[in-house]
A = this chain, B = another copy of it.
């Protein structure tokens, strides 16, 4: 069995479209990042993902991490792969060249990230942490702090750990109780227990910089009293060299159903009252800083859904073209490949269409962030930020929910063999299961969508999105082949606009309904976003087809859109119907009897 093939052709197509849609083609700052360079980077990353990371994926799952007396040992080969990853410069791909990075735009980093996540999700979790942690330092760190941390992080000599969760503070970070007491010399004494810290302790790097959320003595209660501290595992001397161990101890790692290769640590800070850290950004503004990383992490998390779906599709596709079973549904011919059974083809296309729609959305978001970074027009930047802010919870939650279902579909294609661990597809299901939970559960993303992304700007961002999709729908309608998709897409936009109106009109809003219906609404919008991306892709494919380019490939893209509109788009109306009456039965129900 082949482990993973980087889908370079799909990637390059979708990166190109995202760049064009975001209006990045004409930016002189990005002129050097032409198709050729993009292709070269993707190809190199693909080789590394296939050749180095994918073979370690099952190793990580089987061996897991070992915890012994405060030390964590990563699986066989992890350490060497980490060295290679850093030496090849992948860690700093989208981080500033000033600190040793490569300053590539996000629209290239996103597909590269996708390959790491497909090839070995558990392994590569350190990378999003270093990326996000470095961005926090870039935004909120002093020049001295940037100088102290960034180069070692980007080179991979040190890694980042994010210490947020406490046993009683998970989704609700405002409830955390870790203390930080100023020592008058710029240092803070940190004391508290944190859990669920990815790569909080490991054996791959010289040092680990813990970014710890904690409260100073006079901090206000709740989320307005949280500050962010950099707390190194090994103390850093003024010349940047490493000194003595800080008072940090790893007290255990979780025994998880998936992601065995990624150590999830419980950490105790300041057991001996000698754990020192320094403040990053302003006091009591820790959550705002953390949101820089969180938004980054949510995008990466959404890509995990895509990556798991892609892996699942590849494995299922391969198996469906190897395994013979049953007879042909039309001719009755015996022992056909299972791919020829329409139900198996349906499962394969459901995965393929969702992966392409979600991937396209993920790449678009990355390109929009790049565009916002480079545009000089403040109005445009605001609109871009609003678009990204709207799409982020949809992408994070919907892609990971679908990723879970796609992992299940993969196992279903494998039949009984999928239930046997050696096949490797059960690992996809187990690994995927956390993606709808960490970095904000699906429920939290949905609340964010309804209240912060739709209600708080009175529907401006959602209406702008719907208008853009309507414009596409209009242009599809004039095409004989794609008119049906255009008609449907336009109708859905009307349905969505009607459904969200009560959110914006606060007076008429039924709070129970909006809260209970948030997830169904998010699912409707997630499906709409995929439909939008796939319809646009079909339009591009048709135009290229008319120029005679790569007919099989482009015909497939058109078929994919038609499949998605028949198999997934009908769910939008259903989810909107549920959203509108989501409080039904809930208020009356008494759980306590």
Contact = CB atoms under 8 A, between A and B. Distances in A.
A573 B571 contact: no
B257 A419 contact: yes
A329 B570 contact: no
**Number of copies of chain A assembled together:** 2
Nearest to A254: B420
Interface in A246-289: 254-258
A485 to B, nearest CB: 10
B415 A591 contact: no
Contact of A591 (B258, B321, B335): B321
Interface stretch (A117-125, A150-158, A427-435): A427-435
Q: Which secondary structure characterizes the binding site on chain A?
A: helix
Given A256-B420, A563-B585, A581-B566, A408 B433 contact: yes
A512 interface: yes
A511 interface: yes
A317 B560 CA distance: 40
A334 interface: yes
A438 interface: yes
Given A317-B591, A436-B412, A563-B589, A255 B175 contact: no
Contacts of A240: none
A562 B585 contact: yes
A21 to B, nearest CB: 23
A348 to B, nearest CB: 7
A578 B567 contact: yes
A585 B570 contact: no
A447 B343 contact: yes
A518 B345 CA distance: 12
Contact of A574 (B346, B404, B556, B573): B573
A556 B593 contact: yes
A341 B512 CA distance: 9
Interface in A303-354: 317, 321, 324-327, 329-330, 334-335, 339, 341-346, 348-349, 353
B585 A578 contact: no
Interface in A24-39: none
Nearest to A573: B574
A352 to B, nearest CB: 8
B256 A421 contact: yes
A426 interface: yes
Given A416-B196, A566-B581, A343 B426 contact: no
B443 A255 contact: no
A422 B254 CA distance: 9
Interface of A: 165, 168, 170-172, 174-175, 196, 222, 254-258, 317, 321, 324-327, 329-330, 334-335, 339, 341-346, 348-349, 353, 404, 408, 411-412, 415-416, 418-422, 426, 429-430, 433-434, 436-438, 441-443, 446-447, 511-512, 515-516, 518-520, 552-553, 555-556, 558-567, 570-571, 573-575, 577-578, 581-586, 588-591, 593
11 contacts: A257-B421, A330-B512, A342-B512, A346-B519, A346-B586, A552-B593, A559-B586, A559-B588, A565-B584, A566-B578, A566-B584
